[in-house]
Amino acid sequence: MRKSLIIPIILIASALYFNDVISSAKKIRVEIERMEITEVSFEKVTINVTLCMENPSNYRYSAEDIRYEMYAERGWGTGA
């Protein structure tokens, strides 16, 4: 994984875990897809998060899927 992508991923994961509404994160999946558009290489980072949120009215849990997508030019921030 590129160094330039580590900090945004850590920040997003931290924000999800420290949100007081979320009781637990059931699944976090990170996908990196490389693509080239008009001779410029990009990396598409998709973070899929399945959250388990508590509903205080009936003490049941519901799952919610959240997707974050970022695009970064390949080599950006790495000196390449």
Inside any domain, residue 80: no
Range with top average pLDDT, 4-13, 19-28, 53-62, 65-74: 4-13
Inside any domain, residue 69: yes
The predicted model scores a pTM of 0.34
Inside any domain, residue 78: no
* Residues 9, 11: Cα–Cα separation, whole Å: 5
Query: Could you tell me if 43 and 63 are in contact, meaning their C-beta atoms sit under 8 angstroms apart?
Result: no
Residue 17: domain span: 3-73
> Bridge-partner residues for 24, per DSSP?
52
What is residue 78's predicted lDDT score, i.e. its pLDDT? 47
Query: Could you tell me if 79 and 58 are in contact, meaning their C-beta atoms sit under 8 angstroms apart?
Result: no
- Please state the domain count of the chain: 1
Inside any domain, residue 24: yes
